[in-house]
Amino acid sequence: MNMKTRHYFFLMVIAMGVLSMAARMAFTADDLVGTWKYLISDVPPEYESGLLIFEQKDNKTVGWVEAAEKNEIKELMVDQGKVTFMTENDHGAFKYSFTQKGDTLTGTIGSQYGDFPIKAVRQAKK
């Protein structure tokens, strides 16, 4: 192996190691487990805050949105820092779309009333 080939090989090994570490650090549904307090902008006060609660049940992440009432989270998808799911209640269907950074989820909630900014912060475990 000449010097240039060895240098290229060494760089490839380092790159593969970095990518492997990044893959292990990728956000998964398991990382959602816990209680997240959310705040929705531009909505009436009675709808602006509540909790997102995620748990592990039968090797699956499940959850619900808790505010004036408790609504089950459906169609939960987590992929490369993106989190999406929906809920339904008497007021219609609500589609949540977040980007996760650390202990913060930011995004939008879509409904028949429009799309509204939402932010959720993971609460400390008690």
The pLDDT, as a whole number, for residue 24 is 44
The pTM of this model reads 0.75
Q: Report angle CA 64, 70, 74 to the nearest 5 degrees.
A: 35
Distance CA 32, CA 73 (A): 13
Which pLDDT score is estimated for 23? 45
Tokens of 6: 């060895």
Could you tell me the CATH number of the domain that includes residue 62? Answer: 2.40.128.120
Q: Give the span between the Cα atoms of 100 and 58, in whole angstroms.
A: 24
Element (H, E) at 65: strand 60-66
Cα(39)–Cα(103) distance, rounded to whole angstroms?
14
CA dist 42 to 34, 36, 65, 80, 118, Å? 26, 20, 19, 28, 10
Q: Which residues of the chain have pLDDT under 70?
A: 1-30, 126
Count up the domains in the chain and report the number: 1
User: Is 18 among the domain residues?
Assistant: no
Identify whether 22 is part of a domain: no
